[in-house]
Structures are given as C-alpha cells and as structure tokens.
Amino acid sequence: MRVISEKHDRKVRPAPSGPVTRAERSASVRPAANGHGVCLISVPNISCGACVARIERALIDCPGVVAARANLTLRQVRVTLTDANTDPSPGYEALAALGYTARPLDPSDTEPASAQQDGPDLLRCIAVAGFGAMNVMLLSVAVWSGAEATTRDTFHLISALIAVPVVAYAGQPFFRSALVVLRGGRLNMDVPIALAVLLALALSLSELLQGGDHVFFDAAVTLLFFLLTGRYLDQLMRDRARSAVTGLARLSPKGAMARGPDGSLEWIALHAVAKGMILHIDAGERVPVDVRILHGDTDLDRSLVTGEAMPVAASPGTELEAGTLNLTGGIEVEVLRPVAESFLAEMMRMLSAAETSRSTYVRIADRAARLYAPVVHLLAVATFAGWLLVTGDWQVSAFVAISVLIITCPCALGLAVPVAQVVAAGRLMRSGILMKDGSALERLAQIDRAVFDKTGTLTTGTPMVTSCFEGEAEQREASKALAMQSRHPAAQAIAAHLPEVACEVADAVEVPGFGVEGRVHGRRARLGRARWVAEIAADPQAATGPAFAFEGAPALSFDLSETLRPGAVDTISDMQSSGIPVTMLSGDDAARVAQVAETLGIAEAHHGMTPARKVGVLEDLRDRGHRALMVGDGLNDTAALAAAHVSMAPSTAADAGRTAADFVFLRDGLDAVATAQDVARATARVVRQNFGLAIAYNCIAIPLAVAGLVTPLIAALAMSASSILVIGNSLRLNGKRAAAPLQSVERGPVAIPA
Amino acid sequence: MTILTLLIPVTLVMGAVGLGAFFWSLHSGQYEDLSGDAERILFDEDDKPLAAYPPGHSGTTKEKTP
C-alpha cells in the first residue's frame, strides 16, 4: 500500500484537542439580558448551510437551551440558555454526537472588543461619506453645468451644510490616526489626507463667505469616501483571517483538576495553580504546568516541545513540561513551578522578544508616505511663496497652494496597496491560505532563504503503517481489535491500516508505555512494544516496530514510518531551482533527519534543534542580511516563526504557532508555500505598478495645480480617474492564472525506522 | 426654479432614509454572518436574523422556534 489518500490520512490523525472538562464548559457561560445565560462555542468544522441547520436543530432540542445561532463566517455557535447557571454540557454532547469538534470560546481568546468594533464603525463612516458624496456631487454637477448667481450660492451653501457634518463624522479615522502619528513626531499617509480634507473644507468655507466661484466640498467628501473604502477593505481582510485562525480549536488548557487534602478532585483555573499542588491529569488531557509524575504510568505526546509525534513512555519521577499531551493513562502529578515560570511561559517570553525585533519592519505604504508627505507639503509652501511674490495677493496664493494639497491628496496612493492586497488575500483564501495582514505579503515577496521544520511540516507528523505481517485473518482481526482499545498514535495507525472487521476482545487492558493486552477467542494476545510482546510469544527475538502475538504463537510485526506532506518534494525542488536555498531544522535525531533531507534533496539540515537554537539560526540569517521564510508547526517552532522575516504554519500546527505565523494554510499540501509566494510576488508587482500610476497622475496634476489651473471640476475628474485606474489594475490579480487545484503527486511513505 | 426648494429637501430626505435603513441593518446584525445568511435563504423554516448584541451590549434573544 503505497498510495495514501488525503482522507485516509485525516482519519489517522488524532483529534487536535483533548476533551473539555465539564467545569470548563460551565465556566464559559456568561449572564446576558433577560436573565438568560449565553455561551459561545467554537466549532471549527462548520462548513455549509446544512451544518448550520443541523447544529441549530440539535441544540434547540437540548434541555436548557432557549436559542442557538450558528455563525458560518466566524465558525462559532452562540447558545442562549435559560439562565446563567444552566449546564451547557448537553449542547456539547449533541455537537459531539453530530461529529463536530466543540470547545468553549473564552472572550479573552478573541481580540479585544475595540478591534471588533472597528469594522462596523468604518462601515458607518463609509455610509455617511457615501451619502454626503452623492448629494454634494448632485449639487456640484448643477454648478458645473452653469448654475449662476443666487442659485450657485445657494447650492454652495447647501453643499457646505452637508459636507461639514459629513467630514466631521466620516473623517474621524484619518484625523485620529494623523494626530497619533504627529504626536509621535512621524508622518504617515493619514497626515496629508487629513490636512487636504480639512484645508479643502476651510478654503471652501471662506470662498462661500466671499461668494467665490470655486468650492471643493465635493472633493473633500468624495476623497473621504474613496479612502474609507480602501481602509475598510484592508480591515475586512484582516478580520476574516484573524477570526478563522482564532476560531480553530485552542490547545492550551485553561485549568486543571486539583486533588484536595481530603482526596476530592476540584477544577481550578490555571492562574490559581501553585507550586507543590497535586494535580490529576487524565488520559487525553494536556499538562497545564511543569510537573513531576508521582503515580501512574503513561505515554506522552511531547510534540509541542520537541516537534516529534512518536509517543514517549513515562513513569513516576519523570518531569513533564507544560503543553505535553498525556495519551494513555491517568497520572497524579506534583506541580514543580508556578504557571509564570513554566516551559510554556518561557516559550511565550521568547516569542514576544522575537516579535518585538520584527516589528521594525515598515510597510511599503508608510515608506512611501515618509517620502511623499514632506515633498507635497514643501511643494504647497513653495507654491504659496511663489504666487505671493508674483501676484502679491495672499488670498489667491493660499487658494492655489491649497488646491495643490487637494489635488495631491494621496487618494490613488492610499488605494494602491490595500486594494491589491485585498484582491490577493481573496485569491489566497480560495487556495486555502489565510493571511494575518498585508505587510506579510510584502515581506513574503522579498525572501531569499527558506527554513523548514521537519515533523508536522515537511512530513505529516502522524505515523503510518508501511508494511504489515502476512498473517492469517484471525491474527489481523485480533490486532485491529486490540489496536482499537488504545489512543496511542501507533495503535490508531494500525487500526486504520487493517481493513478487517475487529473481533470481540475480553478483559482488554492498556499497559501504559507497553501496549494493549486482552483475550481473543479465549487466547491471551498482546499488541505493543516488540520486547513486551515477545514475553508471551513463542520466539523471543524482538523486532524494532510494534508487534502482535497470541500467547505461545510467533510474534508478528508492523513497520511504522512518517509520511511526507503532499507536494513537499516539488515545493522544495522548485524553491531551490528558483534560487532560494532551503534549510531544514528539526528536533529529531540525526538518522531520520538525514533520511528526510536526502529524499527531499535538502543540503543543509540541522538535527536536535531546541526552540532557542532554531531562533539562533534565524537570527544568524538575519544578521547576515538574509530574509528568511520560516515554515513550521509545533510550539517548539513558535519563537522561530516570530523571529523569521515572514512565516507560515499549517492549520494543524500548535495554537501558538498559528498565532505567531503570518500565513496559515488549511490544506494538507505543502504547495501552499509556493502558491503564497507566487501571489506575493504578483502583488508586489501590481503594487509597484499602482505606485507608478499614482506618480504619473501626480506628474500631470501637480504642474496644473501649481500653475493655478485646477478648478473643482478638474480636481474631481482627475482624482476619480486615478483611483479607478488603480482599482482596475489591482483587480488584474484575480485574473492571473488561477491557483492550480491540489492534485499534487502523492508520494509513498518514506521509510524511517520508528 | 422654485421647484428646487421642494426637490432638494426631497433628495436629502430620501438619502437620509437610505442612510438610516443602512444603520438599522448594521445594528440589527445583518452583516455579522454574510456567508451563513447566504445559506440560510435555502432553509424551509422561517428564519430571522439574530439580534446583534456584542459583549457588553444589551440586546434581545430570539425566542425558541419550533
């Protein structure tokens, strides 16, 4: 069996999250209006309208549920309960019964409320600006077509009455941002925008009072409308990506079951866990803090720490890092360090340090503004001085200088970047790639190095059975039956591999760290570590992989190996042939790393990397002037993801990894990396063209303005035309050859001794 | 030209009504779940939009529908 379908692969992968305790669910219910309780549930696998209907119908039938509303965009369900003390568990069970992963959504997980409010606020501003623009334009057209004397003055007056409140309301986002930046002694695009809009308004008001011909109310309001649209698109794209990323199941535990002095178990919140406490950690739960095992044997998934998915056996005395997943047995543990000093907290500190060092990146639009704003302002001042010298009339000079500012208001420039990035984000999303913000696209277009993690990134991180004994049907049935008793990834891989129907097992016992034992058709049978199985088997020689044996019969073994992600080979070879050297960093041992590196043709591969050393490699690259792309999953990669120039993570990555990465790809194939890079480069090209268009526009418009030839009509035409050109150019990104559907060549598993 | 004294206020009122309708629809949560609402139109049962109440905002809940 050499071909592994995507579906098969998914079945083998263990559920991304452990079970949620009842106490944790109850804690997520919040009181709402009318005495009802409300809880928000994150359901990452809602995918269509049918899911929405099924979920709502199932929830409404649950006891204590008043209303349920599924949100397909945010992949959340809002459940209204009769009161705040109602237990929401039946709802979770109903969702689980339908096959949906459900986790309580802590409001602290989502962005602060202020960020969520920005979207509607901007929409309101756009609506107001749109209303103003339409009405003022209607009056302006009448003036341009030849309204005269009193009619014209009346129209100007009405325009002013509309424009002043509209600018005061809809201009706020720009005024606020410009104020903040000016206080910091810097300049961004919002400074010339705010200045142009305010001066246009002031100039028009003074013209109005003197009964002049030229008022710019329409320019001020339409400018705001265009620019707000650009800003809203920018916002929309970021929100959508962010909600999808945070909506995926959370991995870090919110609390723990503590053993009291009287032996009772009680759920306590994470921050209340103190050093020396005794905790009980069930099979399938994550270790919340750094602990030492007191009682119990188990297998551990330390993939968040080392990046490796193969379980490690643990017994009393073993020290566990926070974030480790307890797989097979319940354990009693003693807390070694307070939460703030745990391995997880240490990782978070490293992460924030890495993030601060990256925040020095300046977005293209801001870099343009740094050049553009002073030039434009100086030009306006020079125009004023020039006209004053020549004509000696300060009023005319002021009019011309302000018209220079209005006509150079960076409307096209303000749209140049966001529109291109929104179109690119839409295209990426169709290819299953989510993006955090626009600057990530700019950074991705600049990379000259690529660094990949091994387990979970280049490989799927889940073991697969590559070869299986040629035994009789009875032995295979018994193997499957025993394998189904365990949560161990190797057992799950075996259960998924064997097509037989499992037979009855009696007295099945899982011996943590060794395997599963039970009685099949009255005979004792074992499935697990080869040496342990050999204890009851006829032949004492032990194989390397897991084995199965009936008592007194020969032992039969399975071979487990890692599988490459689909598209990994092509992606790596494409990158290297396009002049981007690829490096592999892994926490795994030398032999396996070398084997994967050889299969993929990667020359530079580092093994045994700790999180700190991964960061070290990336910082070293940066110091040598390289711009590296980091692709990784796992908590051990988190700090490295943040330290890289730009980073990507698969959606199966650890939660912290997804948060730290700039891009998250939802599909299994690694070709998402190449797709994202293509889109990023195309976007960078379009952005450059847009800047070219905006500059060309300015080259024509500025001389006209300096010469004092700009009338409100010319300003309106020129500004709209340049904006439309830029938008049209950006839309071309959509038409470029659509991302190839994910039909990459499936590769057989790479045999790596487990 | 006196007709303008009537027409301009009428234009403004119509615009304001449209603006008000947009604000109302925004407030009533019709933009909360655009992709979900696109699917909901296909449901057989009568389905009303959920009253918007973001955290900290008081609002009303939809009563249980059969």
Tens digit of each residue's pLDDT (9 = 90 or more) over A628-643: 899 887 767 777 888 8
Q: Give the 3-state secondary structure of A267-328.
A: EEEHHHCCCCCEEEECCCCECCCCEEEEECCEEEECHHHHCCCCCEEECCCCEECCCCEECC
- Give SS3 for A360: coil
Chain B interface includes A113 (CB < 8 A) = yes
Residue of A nearest to B1 (CA): A151
- Give SS3 for A186: coil
Cβ contacts of B4 on chain A, cutoff 8 Å: 151
CA distance A510 to A551: 17
Chain A interface includes B42 (CB < 8 A) = yes
Q: Which of A56, A404, A165, A115 is nearest to B48 (CA)?
A: A56
Query: How far off is chain A from B15, nearest CA to CA, in Å?
Result: 6
Cβ contacts of A60 on chain B, cutoff 8 Å: 64-65
pLDDT < 70 positions in chain A: 1-24, 27, 33, 105-119, 236-254, 303-310, 344-362, 461, 469-471, 539-544, 635, 653-656, 735-754
Cβ contacts of A139 on chain B, cutoff 8 Å: 8
| C-beta atoms surrounding A603 within 10 Å | 11
Q: Which of B23, B43, B60 sits opposite A33 (nearest CB)?
A: B60
Cβ contacts of B49 on chain A, cutoff 8 Å: none
Q: Do A49 and B1 touch (CB under 8 A)?
A: no
| Half-sphere exposure at residue A500, Cβ-oriented, CA atoms within 13 angstroms | 19
C-beta of residue A225 within 8 angstroms of C-beta of residue A122:
no
Chain B interface includes A509 (CB < 8 A) = no
Q: What is the pLDDT of residue A742?
A: 41
Chain B interface includes A73 (CB < 8 A) = yes
Distance, first Cα to last Cα, chain B: 59
Question: Catalytic: A453?
Answer: yes
Chain A interface includes B23 (CB < 8 A) = yes
Helix A411-430 to helix A712-735 angle, to the nearest 10 degrees?
20
Residue of A nearest to B60 (CA): A33
Cβ contacts of B38 on chain A, cutoff 8 Å: 49
Residue of B nearest to A128 (CA): B19
Residue of A nearest to B41 (CA): A49
Residue of B nearest to A64 (CA): B64
Report residue A583: phi and psi, to 5°.
-120, 145
Q: Do A120 and B36 touch (CB under 8 A)?
A: no
pLDDT in tens, A710-722: 777 888 788 888 8
Q: Which of A33, A72, A80 sits opposite B36 (nearest CB)?
A: A72
Q: Which of A38, A72, A135 sits opposite B11 (nearest CB)?
A: A135
Q: What is the pLDDT of residue A126?
A: 92
The average confidence (pLDDT) of chain A is 77
pLDDT < 50 positions in chain B: 51-66
Chain B interface includes A271 (CB < 8 A) = no
Q: Is A616 exposed, middle or buried (0-12, 13-18, 19+ CB in 10 A)?
A: middle
C-beta of residue A513 within 8 angstroms of C-beta of residue A531:
no
Length of chain B: 66
Chain A interface includes B33 (CB < 8 A) = yes
C-beta of residue A511 within 8 angstroms of C-beta of residue A489:
no
Q: Quick one: residue A680, left, alpha or beta (phi over 0 = left, psi -120 to 50 = alpha)?
A: alpha
Instruction: Tell me the ipTM for this assembly.
Output: 0.71
Q: What is the pLDDT of residue B18?
A: 92
Query: How far off is chain B from A78, nearest CA to CA, in Å?
Result: 10
C-beta of residue A263 within 8 angstroms of C-beta of residue A594:
no
Query: Which site among A73, A157, A240 would you substitute to test the B interface, given the most B Cβ atoms closer than 10 Å to its Cβ?
Result: A73
- Give SS3 for A104: strand
Annotated active-site residue in A190, A453, A637, A662: A453
Name the token pair of A571: 């992606």
Amino acid identity of residue A333, one-letter, is: V
Q: Do B35 and A162 touch (CB under 8 A)?
A: no
Q: What is the pLDDT of residue B51?
A: 46
The distance of Cα B41 from the centroid of its chain, to the nearest Å, equals 16
Q: Do B36 and A33 touch (CB under 8 A)?
A: no
Q: Which of A655, A662, A660, A665 is nearest to A103 (CA)?
A: A655
